[in-house]
RNA sequence: GCGCUGGUAGCUCAGAUGGAUAGAGUACCUGGCUACGAACCAGGGGGUCGGGGGUUCGAUUCCUCCCCAGCGCGCCA
């Protein structure tokens, strides 16, 4: 039940009925309470097209609406206001009825998509040569939330973790591994901190020419399928993936081993990508490299930006791999929609991949390919984020810090709880806060990393939503079961406000599915919690008379259900007490 | 040089197809715990929406020109 869409459809039809064709009603939730629950803004635009007085047109539309039995079930009254807005007031008893129905429905009365798609979603994609750092947070968390939302709406979601496991840097790492093995060093110990391991290998690479030469040769050996190197490589990859899995588990991210679709997987397809591009007439040689030149990527001075798919030494590039992946996702996975949760800096690259992939016939023009970009992480001074040592902040360090700070807070709030419970609560709160801090922003541009805002537990944060949930659970511990036969009555303004907000859950979910913007859902849940908190202050439950108490318990119950479901779609847990 | 993304309150950020008095959080100031949990609530101050033009009944939103920031533009991924 998406009220906004329903109103929009009916009012757009009403506009057509009075002669305004192809004029959208542009229904939105009202900007201010005195403007009703929803407002239609499209009348002025339609009137302009028809060269009519907008208020006159609005009058006609309202007359049309008043004759519509379907919409009359939910609308109390219409008001024509200002230059030609139609303000819509919903019926109290209809709202109450909808709350009751939503409470009794399976998934908060959210309708499954009528056109389910096979969505391939490419997210997280760490480089296995190094440990995951804070920059991987966005892709991992936003991708996971979008996946959950799409699944919730009945789409088939195929997660693809396009991990980097095949670049030239693995020659360096494997060579270093080989050295350590000969020295009988404790390899597992060394690999437990991948960041240090990488740096140590890098130093060898930079300082020792013989080592560097060996490293370059080993890449070739690896990619040619040398058994010894494959074994060594496999050991490294496994270790690194274990690190990732550990992070995913802490983050409550659904990515599993079977979702890993590494770059190496496409190794055998790369040659055929080149021949297929050639067959499609897209390939041309330039300075020894195989390139695709397209008019789409022409600069103002007519110079065309090439996409290089094969180096002059015969080696392939990530453009080649991405094209192979694109073809695989269409042919093998049946993708009808592709989402790429990738850094904004790769926007040109991905645009090229999409256009070339479609021109080459790797997938149909109709397949929607969407780059859901996000910006670079910056430090407080607005320059790219680095620690003092010059490296990036490890993700695991951020998560541990979150748990630590949350534990201190839980301990100060609830000193009597046993330590195990406090730990558990702290983990849920701490990780929730970190995830929410990132999910609640819609920044395609760069963003500032800040420990304190990332680890804040007050205001618009996950703990605020979790707190609302915990409060409701506390009420139910005291109130016992709801009388399911009780009637919901919306008497107080706070009750009505809460009920209306509760019924807008699917509006938020639909936007996230369409635009890939979990911050809409965050914002919705924050407002819902705010409405609940106000209701909680203004409308006592336990002290009210029995009928009112039951009615309010139902509102509280649906709030809890909505918070739990909504937070689960974001990959954030709730708890009974905190 | 060309291109992409952005510039909204002291700070961190929302503002979905142009709409009525631009919103949160935080920080600051006033109040509210003999409690359905103060990780909260009620209220206050604080903004030339980077700047100039333009389109429109109406522009934070669309067009255009500047300024600033980050990033991207042939053999890394």
Q: What is the pLDDT of residues A305-316, one digit of tens each?
A: 899 999 998 989
Which nucleotide C1' is nearest A164 CA? Answer: B77
Nearest alpha-carbon partner for A392 in A81, A135, A43: A135
Distance A142 CA to B4 C1' (A): 22
Across A140-169, b (16+ Cβ under 10 Å) vs e yields bbbbbbbbbbbbbbebebbbbbbbbbbbeb
pLDDT value for A195:
85
* Separation in Å: B37 C1' and A142 CA: 32
Full-model pTM: 0.95
DSSP A345: G
From the CA of A460 to the C1' of B26: give the distance in Å.
Answer: 10
Burial status of residue A512 (CB atoms within 10 A of its CB: 0-12, 13-18, 19 or more): buried
Give the fold, CATH level 3, of A3-90.
Gyrase A; domain 2 (3.30.1360)
The per-residue pLDDT for A300 is 54
Q: How many Å does it take to go from CA A383 to C1' B47?
A: 26
- CA A42/CA A65 separation, integer angstroms: 15
Going by pLDDT thresholds of 50, 70 and 90, the confidence category of residue A47 is very high
Q: Which of A480, A458, A475 is nearest to A536 (CA)?
A: A475
Distance A12 CA to B58 C1' (A): 22
Determine phi and psi for A26, rounding to 5 degrees: 50, 65
Evaluate if residue A383 carries a pLDDT over 70: no
Check if the beta carbon of residue A44 is closer than 8 Å to that of residue A33. no
CA atoms within 13 A on the CB side of A465: 33
**CA–CA separation, A172 and A233 (whole Å):** 11
Interhelix angle A137-152/A518-538, rounded to 10 degrees, is: 70
Average pLDDT value for residue range A506-527: 95
Confidence of residue A186 (pLDDT cuts 50, 70, 90): confident
Amino acid A299: pLDDT:
61
d(CA A225, CA A234): 12
Q: Establish how many alpha carbons lie within 13 A of residue A245's alpha carbon, considering only the half-sphere containing its beta carbon.
A: 11
Q: Nearest nucleotide, C1' to the C-alpha of A263?
A: B77
- Phi, psi angles (nearest 5°) of residue A352: -60, -45
All CATH 3.30.1360.70 domain ranges in chain A, comma separated: 3-90
Checking each nucleotide's C1' against the CA of A556, the nearest proves to be: B36
Tens digit of pLDDT for each residue in A1-16? 899 999 999 999 999 9
Q: Which long-range contacts (CB under 8 A, 24 or more apart) does A480-485 make?
A: A482/A550, A482/A553, A482/A554, A482/A557, A483/A550
Question: What's the rounded mean pLDDT across residues A554-578?
Answer: 97
The Cα A540–Cα A45 span in angstroms is 45
CA distance A398 to A242: 18
- In whole angstroms, give the CA distance from residue A355 to residue A330: 15
ipTM of the complex: 0.95
CA distance A363 to A280: 13
CA A488 to chain centre: 35
Q: What pLDDT band is residue A381 in, cutting at 50, 70 and 90?
A: low
Closest nucleotide to A299 by C1' from CA = B2
**Residue A109: closest CA among A202, A235, A1:** A1
Q: What is the pLDDT of residue A453?
A: 84
d(CA A373, CA A341): 6
Q: Taking chain A, what is the end-to-end CA distance rounded to the nearest angstrom?
A: 33
Mean pLDDT, rounded, for A315-338: 96
Q: Which bases on strand B have an atom closer than 7 Å to a protein beta carbon?
A: 1-6, 12-21, 23-27, 36-37, 39-42, 57-58, 69-77
Q: In what order do the strands lie in the sheet with A118-122?
A: A156-160, A118-122, A337-340, A368-371
The reported pLDDT for the residue numbered A224 is 85
Rounded CA–C1' distance between A103 and B24, in angstroms: 29
Closest nucleotide to A459: CA versus each C1':
B25
Q: Which residue approaches B38 most closely, CA to C1'?
A: A413
Residues contacting A208, CB < 8 A, separation 6+: none
* Strand bridging mode A377-378 / A447-448: parallel
* Protein residue nearest nucleotide B3, by CA to C1': A299
Mean pLDDT, all residues of chain A: 92
- E strand or H helix that includes residue A180: helix A169-182
Q: Give the mean model confidence (pLDDT) for residues A374-383.
A: 73
- A20: pLDDT confidence band, cut at 50, 70 and 90? confident
Q: How far is the CA of A454 from the C1' of B11 (A)?
A: 14
Percent of chain A with pLDDT over 90: 78
| Residue A481 scores a pLDDT above 90 | no
Distance CA(A157)–CA(A115), nearest Å, equals: 14
Asked whether the beta carbons of A2 and A112 are under 8 A apart, the reply is: no
Q: In whole angstroms, what is the distance from residue A307 CA to residue A320 CA?
A: 9
Sign of the Cα pseudo-torsion (A524, A529, A533, A539, in order): positive
* Dihedral angle sign, alpha carbons of residues A89, A92, A93, A98: positive
**Nearest Cα to Cα of residue A88 among A140, A138, A26:** A26
CA A108 to C1' B31 (Å) is 39
> Regarding predicted confidence, which is higher, A388 or A555?
A555
pLDDT score of A375 more than 90: no
Distance, CA of A433 to CA of A8 (rounded, Å) = 36
- Across all strands, nucleotide nearest A31 (CA–C1'): B20
| A560 touches A471 (CB < 8 A) | no
Rounded distance, CA A106 to CA A360, Å? 45
């Amino acid at each position: 039940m998406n009220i906004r869409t329903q109103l929009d459809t009916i009012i757009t039809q009403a506009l057509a009925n009075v002669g305004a064709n192809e004029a959208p009603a542009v229904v939105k939730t009202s900007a201010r309470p005195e403007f009703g629950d929803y407002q239609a803004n499209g009348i002025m635009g339609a009137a302009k097209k028809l060269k009519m007085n907008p208020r006159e047109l609005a009058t006609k539309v309202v007359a049309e609406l008043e004759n519509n039995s379907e919409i009359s079930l939910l609308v109390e009254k219409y008001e024509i206001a200002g230059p030609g807005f139609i303000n819509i007031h919903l019926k109290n008893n209809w709202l109450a009825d909808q709350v009751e129905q939503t409470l009794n429905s399976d998934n908060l009365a959210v309708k499954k998509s009528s056109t389910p798609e096979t969505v391939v979603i490419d997210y997280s994609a760490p480089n296995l040569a190094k440990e995951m750092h804070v920059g991987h947070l966005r892709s991992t968390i936003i991708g996971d939330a979008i996946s959950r939302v799409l699944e919730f709406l009945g789409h088939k979601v195929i997660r693809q973790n396009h991990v980097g496991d095949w670049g030239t840097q693995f020659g360096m790492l494997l060579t270093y591994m080989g050295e350590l093995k000969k020295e009988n060093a404790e390899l597992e110990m060394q690999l437990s901190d991948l960041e240090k391991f990488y740096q140590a290998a890098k130093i060898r690479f930079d300082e020792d020419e013989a080592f560097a030469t060996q490293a370059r040769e080993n890449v070739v050996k690896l990619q040619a399928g040398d058994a010894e190197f494959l074994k060594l490589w496999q050991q490294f990859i496994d270790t690194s993936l274990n690190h990732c899995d550990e992070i995913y588990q802490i983050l409550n991210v659904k990515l599993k081993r079977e979702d890993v679709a590494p770059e190496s997987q496409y190794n055998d397809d790369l040659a055929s990508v080149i021949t297929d591009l050639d067959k499609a007439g897209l390939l041309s040689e330039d300075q020894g490299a195989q390139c695709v030149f397209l008019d789409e990527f022409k600069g103002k001075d007519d110079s065309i930006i090439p996409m290089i798919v094969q180096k002059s030494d015969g080696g392939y590039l990530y453009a080649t791999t991405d094209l192979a992946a694109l073809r695989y996702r269409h042919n093998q996975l049946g993708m009808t929609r592709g989402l790429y949760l990738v850094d904004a800096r790769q926007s040109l690259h991905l645009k090229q991949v999409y256009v070339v992939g479609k021109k080459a016939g790797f997938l149909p023009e109709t397949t929607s390919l969407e780059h859901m970009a996000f910006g670079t992480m910056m430090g407080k001074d607005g320059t790219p984020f680095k620690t003092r040592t010059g490296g990036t902040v490890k993700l695991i360090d951020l998560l541990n810090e979150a748990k630590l700070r949350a534990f201190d807070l839980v301990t100060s709030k609830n000193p009597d709880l046993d330590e195990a419970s406090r730990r558990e609560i702290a983990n849920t709160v701490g990780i929730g806060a970190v995830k929410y801090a990132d999910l609640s922003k819609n920044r395609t541009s760069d963003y500032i990393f800040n420990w304190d805002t990332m680890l804040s537990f007050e205001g618009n944060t996950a703990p605020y939503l979790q707190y609302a949930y915990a409060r409701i659970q506390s009420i139910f511990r005291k109130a016992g079961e709801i009388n399911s036969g009780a009637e919901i009555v919306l008497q107080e303004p706070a009750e009505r406000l809460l009920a209306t907000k509760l019924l807008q859950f699917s509006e938020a979910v639909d936007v996230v599915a369409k635009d890939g913007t979990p911050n809409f859902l965050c914002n919705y849940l924050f407002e819902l919690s705010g409405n609940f908190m106000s209701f909680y202050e203004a409308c006592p439950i336990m002290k009210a008379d029995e009928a009112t108490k039951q009615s309010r318990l139902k509102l509280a119950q649906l709030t809890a259900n909505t918070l739990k479901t909504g937070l689960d779609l974001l990959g954030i847990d709730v708890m009974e007490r905190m």
